[in-house]
Amino acid sequence: SSTSCFVHESFVDEVANQIEMDPLDFRLKYLKDERAVKLLNALRKQTNWDNPPPGEFKGIAFTHAFQSYCAQVVSVEKSGAGVKIKKVGAAIDCGQTNNPDTREAQIEGSIVMGLTAAYKTAISINGGKVVNNNFHNYELRKIDETPEIEVQIMKNNHAPGGIGEPGFPPTAPA
């Protein structure tokens, strides 16, 4: 799910860009799944997608994995030759929830892992062996390197889906 989401969502953005269509509107035009549409519309409102402050740019990505739906909007601003991530807005529809705090923490942790994978670390191989074989030598983003994260958990009575993994795939492509 992690690698295919990056490729899929990047391609969706390229197509939307080619036809000069807003990337969120493009997704909504072609998604027929009611839960996905509801999730994206909620995220649009949550992140103020249609009215970003001057100098702020937004990217979006969506995934349906582990029987859950997750989408994220990453807000950035120009910083030198690159960008600075200001905020990550996430929405998850993982069906029935019995502990929203744990679900929110899972998505926040997944976003930190996604930002780490996109911006900070690499897996090193030396002599045919992986050097970074556990968290003691795989440097995660630190709290002072992590932008504000806001998680919205959709409420419904659908069967429970996954929560540990769905927050990771949309981070990098967003």
- Given this model, what pLDDT does residue 142 score? 87
Write out residues in the chain with pLDDT < 50, as ranges: none
Token representation of residue 97: 């929830």
pLDDT tens sequence across 64-77: 999 999 999 999 99
- Given this model, what pLDDT does residue 5 score? 93
Distance separating alpha carbons of residues 166 and 88, to the nearest angstrom: 15
- Given this model, what pLDDT does residue 43 score? 98
Counting Cβ atoms within 10 Å, is residue 28 exposed (0-12), middle (13-18) or buried (19+)? middle
- Given this model, what pLDDT does residue 117 score? 86
DSSP state of 19: T
- Nearby residues of 38 by Cβ (< 8 Å), 6 or more positions away: 93, 154
- Entry pTM: 0.91
Distance separating alpha carbons of residues 172 and 57, to the nearest angstrom: 15
Distance separating alpha carbons of residues 123 and 130, to the nearest angstrom: 7
- Given this model, what pLDDT does residue 121 score? 72
* Paired strand residues for 90: 72, 151
For helices 34-46 and 23-30, angle between their N-to-C axes, nearest 10 degrees: 160
